[in-house]
Amino acid sequence: MEISYVGENLISGQLGNLFIILSFVCSGLAAFAYFKSIHSPELESASWKKMARTFFYIHVGSIVGMVSILFYLLFNHHFEYYYVWRHSSTDLAMRYIFSCFWEGQEGSFMLWSLWHGVLGIILLNTSKKWEAGTMTVLSVVQLLLGSMLLGVYIFDIQIGSNPFILLREHPDMLNLPFVQNPEYLNFVEGTGLNPLLQNYWMTIHPPIVFLGFALTLIPFTFAITSLYIKDYTSWLKPALPWTFFGIAVLGLGVLMGGAWAYEALSFGGFWAWDPVENSSLVPWLILVGAGHLMLINKVKPNSMFSTYLFSVLSFLLVMYSSYLTKSGILGETSVHSFADGLPGQLIFILLFLVIGAFTLLAIRFKKLPKQQKEEELWSREFWMFLGALVLLISCFQITFSTSIPVINAIFGTEMAPPTNANEHYNSWQLPLATLVAIFIGIGHYLKYKKTDSKKFFKDTAVSAILSLVITIAVATSLQFQHYYHGLLMFAATYAVVANADYWFRILKGSIKKSGAAIAHIGFGFLLIGALISAGNKEIISRNNSEIEIKMNENENANKENIMLIKGDTVLMGNHFISYEGREKEGHNIYYKVNYYQIDDNGKYERQFQLRPFVQLNEQMGNVPEPATKHFWSRDIFTHVTYADLDDPALDDPNAYEEADTSLVKIGDTLFATNSIIVVKEVIKDIDLAANNLQPDDIAVGLRLEAMNVKGQTFDASPTLVIRQNRLFSIPSEVDPLGLKFNFKKINPETGEFTILKQEKTSNASDFIIMQAIVFPYINILWIGCIIMTLGSIIAVINRVRFPKLRS
Amino acid sequence: MKKIHIIGIIIVAVAIGVIMSTLADAATYAQFSVVDNHPGKEFQVVGKLAKNSEITYDPKVNVDLFTFNMVDNEGIEKKVYFHGAKPQDFERSEQVVVTGKMEEGQFHADKILMKCPSKYNNGNTEGFTEIEANT
């Protein structure tokens, strides 16, 4: 029997599916028509091209259509759609709806296709004689990506995964009872967005990374086209601005990912050599190599094979990275990989592109322009070529180590990724980065073809000496731990100084030609910032207490966490810190950690408060997020590693424990978890009216003084009242210490008083285990990133505006 | 010999170095039965938190010691000493990967990767959380 469901918006999904099919078919037709136009005589070619453009515009229009529909469904919480249900929820703040869009695989493919479409429209209008070829390749890639959204079955093989599938029709849901309920929409609620992605970086980072990924496709299309039509050099000029724009955008995107990891994740740093990070860094490095090879081969086509290799490899590595992260092959090795992929289809797409590109390159290999004469040792092209090879080695190392799960899958081995990833990757990447930085420093002083070596040494000597002085000063004042940190420091400083010198002295500070110099200065700063902030990071929560529990003789128990009980003040690094307490706001529990310095009078002076928090999330698990205090010269990063989330005091912070009864005299002392209480005096002259007592009551108070660990004192005065023949007491609370006192009885013979002391439950149970790390000069890293992006963009703009300009 | 040949040789040598270093640094997935026989060698063990496992973490005694029992994929149960704070939500984990080695008959781990189930079993491995002991 057909069930007629109530409240479903089916028309949007049908329209969305129409757009998916239209966009898929039109990308195929556009590819075909463009391909025909390459091979047709002039007149016919023009009409094929016109047709192809129409198909391509319809294709892009359809992508815009499906993207809009998915946004519409997300914004209006249409949980009848699986994607909406799976990636969002009603209580999610509107600004995170964008993150929901690209959290899932289908959404991220749509975003990626959309960027390809936008770039395709620009390419189609600007590339003139290259249009037919480049757009054929681009359309084929769009066809392949479009197939990832189809969600159809051919002989039981699933092709693509459809973003507009209904919740009740999703294979996981078919047998669930709600499917039989026509009014299921009344109670269905979305599962929500991964709490880690509920961060402002996650609204801007993915679109930028995907634009960067999309931009790697353009040099690929040019390279493939030129190989196909056997025109081996003239593609370099139109491809160059695209390549450097890609370098700017992807570089920015990769570092934004680092910024997000630093702000929102708790591993303590901006880079962890995680497979997902690696697989966006590698295409960027190759793209940088491709751009520089294009520059030297535009002048003299001496290393065209390498230029082709880099130009196609960057995009192929993007495809490989999307296979790694979306197919689920990373499995246990990555903190953030997606397992719900379609590995078969992704492998097919990847192999199709790799085999296609390399076959074409192999066929044409013999016909590529040959090196006329060996490169001079003292030429710019020789060292730029070497630099590109260093980047290639760097990428090979990162890719090989990241691909361990793939190697396991192919060869059936049982390798696990290196336990200490940082050590493993850094042992290669640090020396390679040092080499690259040196090349960046000398590059501009080398001339194309041949350089006068005397002039070269004279030009670069001052920068080298200055860099050496700076390096020695920095290395001694920050106490570098390893000599190779000093080497990298020198190389990176040299990259900055030499390029600044080149910009001001040789280019006379002109902006027009400055792009490369500025970008290189930025890269140098980036390396310096990364080196100092990571190499000299200091874990200030390291436990220095005398009590050391050794697990066994060989190994010390690690001690990098610190325990803070509410109200305690402890010395950590050069700060005194105290844990003030916790606060529940919505889904988050904030832990308020105060940082103090002692002023001249020996008083604690609060400098700032950090509020690391734990987000409670039933579906995804509870997620801790760090809090960081930024200073210009360092960051203090604070992160709760453990807190008891099941503590009953969390729900009722004002609950008291059972009372303690004590017999005391004046001058006696009582102890609480967070304070010492002294019985000061008996108060006899109690103002009855002010305490709402009756005129013939007899009231006696007891003044108590509680002193906390910081030496602050608080008064309490519980009162005993005698009314006619009955005794009762008025309790007194010390709120800041979570204490409550009751005065119960006086024993006139012994002069003793009976006092009940109660502590708040949270006094004993409220503690956190915390880690704090100081990152010195991390701002240099971010500034370097911004400068590098600006420099690259200046270079692109000037290349587009002044095409004749020589670099 | 041309410069390009020298460069070529260097590149091949470095590439071999890269491969060797990765193979050398790579850890090995293993079961407790293998781990037992190779004290002092580092392994990664995939398994589950043992049912009714005693999970102890007493930060007042030692902030950086956390112990639990784990069952590997062959069903062998072993007590794991993790040198770090207890990961948030550990009891909920449906799969754990520990990295560590046998020392004096005890398995000491310095890294835990745990996968928490999402209620709706969406298979999205973003539920993975990596917890590293402090080195």
| pLDDT average, residue stretch A728-740 | 85
Q: How far, in Å, CA of A163 to CA of B35, rounded?
A: 45
Question: Among A121-125, A286-290, A325-329, where is mean pLDDT lowest?
Answer: A325-329
| Residue B16, domain member (yes or no) | no
For residue A339, is pLDDT > 50?
A: no
| Residue B11, domain member (yes or no) | no
| Residue B119, domain member (yes or no) | yes
| Residue B37, domain member (yes or no) | yes
For residue A762, is pLDDT > 70?
A: yes
**Which residues are CB-neighbours of A3 under 8 A, at least 6 positions away?**
A180, A182
Q: What is the reported pTM?
A: 0.87
- Please name the member of B29, B83, B125 whose beta carbon is closest to the beta carbon of A338: B125
Q: Which of A561, A572, A646, A770 is most worth mutating to test chain B (most B CB atoms within 10 A of its CB)?
A: A561
pLDDT band at A27 (very low <50, low <70, confident <90, very high): very high
pLDDT above 70: percentage of residues in chain A: 94
C-beta atoms of A335 and B25 within 8 A: no
C-beta atoms of A191 and B27 within 8 A: no
pLDDT above 70: percentage of residues in chain B: 84
pLDDT digits 0-9 by tens, A411-467: 888 888 888 888 899 999 999 999 999 999 998 888 877 778 888 888 888 899 999
| pLDDT average, residue stretch A668-685 | 84
Question: Among A4-18, A282-296, A533-547, B57-71, where is mean pLDDT lowest?
Answer: A533-547
pLDDT the model gives residue A90: 86
Between B120 and A695, name the one with better pLDDT: A695
pLDDT above 90: percentage of residues in chain A: 42
**C-alpha distance from A149 to closest chain B C-alpha (Å):** 18
Q: How far, in Å, CA of A257 to CA of A162, rounded?
A: 27
pLDDT band at A141 (very low <50, low <70, confident <90, very high): very high
**C-alpha distance from B1 to closest chain A C-alpha (Å):** 11
Q: How far is CA A187 from the centre of its chain?
A: 35
C-beta atoms of A417 and B27 within 8 A: yes
C-beta atoms of A393 and B11 within 8 A: yes
User: What residue has token string 């995680």?
Assistant: A274
What is the number of domains present in chain B? Answer: 1
| pLDDT average, residue stretch B65-72 | 88
| Residue B10, domain member (yes or no) | no
B111 and A647 Cβ atoms separated by less than 8 Å: no
| Residue B33, domain member (yes or no) | yes
A56 and A120 Cβ atoms separated by less than 8 Å: yes
Q: How far, in Å, CA of B100 to CA of B107, rounded?
A: 7
Any chain B CB within 8 A of the CB of A543? Answer: yes
Any chain B CB within 8 A of the CB of A557? Answer: yes
Collapsed DSSP state (helix, strand, coil) of residue A570? strand
Please provide the average confidence, as pLDDT, over all residues in chain A. Answer: 86
Four-point Cα dihedral A488, A492, A493, A499, nearest 10: 150
Between A645 and A23, name the one with better pLDDT: A23
Question: Among A86-100, A341-355, A491-505, A641-655, where is mean pLDDT lowest?
Answer: A641-655
**C-alpha distance from A694 to closest chain B C-alpha (Å):** 49
- A101: phi > 0 → left, psi -120 to 50 → alpha, else beta; which? alpha
pLDDT the model gives residue A239: 94
- By C-alpha distance, the chain B residue nearest A82 is B122
From chain B residues 11-50, the ones with a CB under 8 A of any chain A CB are: 11, 14-15, 18-19, 21-23, 25-30, 42-44, 46
pLDDT digits 0-9 by tens, A193-237: 877 778 788 889 999 999 999 999 999 999 999 999 999 999 999
Question: Among A177-181, A274-278, A349-353, where is mean pLDDT lowest?
Answer: A177-181
**C-alpha distance from B95 to closest chain A C-alpha (Å):** 10
pLDDT digits 0-9 by tens, B10-40: 989 999 999 998 888 888 888 888 888 888 8
Q: How far, in Å, CA of A583 to CA of A580, rounded?
A: 10
Residues of A in contact with B124 (CB under 8 A): 194, 338-340
pLDDT the model gives residue B122: 38
pLDDT digits 0-9 by tens, A51-74: 999 999 999 999 999 999 999 999
For residue A557, is pLDDT > 70?
A: no
| Residue B106, domain member (yes or no) | yes
pLDDT the model gives residue B127: 42
pLDDT the model gives residue A805: 57
> What CATH code is carried by the domain that includes residue B126?
2.40.50.140
C-beta atoms of B88 and A337 within 8 A: no
Collapsed DSSP state (helix, strand, coil) of residue A8? coil
Identify the CA nearest to A593 among candidates A603, A605, A584, A606.
A606
- Please name the member of A334, A339, A414 whose beta carbon is closest to the beta carbon of B28: A414
User: What residue has token string 């005129």?
Assistant: A695
> In which domain, by residue range, is B45 found?
28-132
Q: How far, in Å, CA of A607 to CA of A574, rounded?
A: 12
| Residue B3, domain member (yes or no) | no
Looking at A194-303, list the stretches that DSSP marks H as alpha helix, in order from N- to C-terminal side. 201-229, 236-264, 275-299
pLDDT band at A341 (very low <50, low <70, confident <90, very high): low
For residue A723, is pLDDT > 70?
A: yes
Between A397 and A616, name the one with better pLDDT: A397
pLDDT the model gives residue B117: 56
A749 and A755 Cβ atoms separated by less than 8 Å: no
Residue A259, burial from CB neighbour count under 10 angstroms (0-12, 13-18, 19+): middle
pLDDT the model gives residue A338: 43
| pLDDT average, residue stretch A730-738 | 84
pLDDT band at A249 (very low <50, low <70, confident <90, very high): very high
Write out the DSSP string of B10-49: HHHHHHHHHHHHHHHH-EEE--HHHHHHSTT--EEEEEEE
Count each helix (H run) and each strand (E run) in chain A, helices first. 19, 24
A402 and B26 Cβ atoms separated by less than 8 Å: no
For residue A369, is pLDDT > 80?
A: yes
pLDDT the model gives residue A683: 84
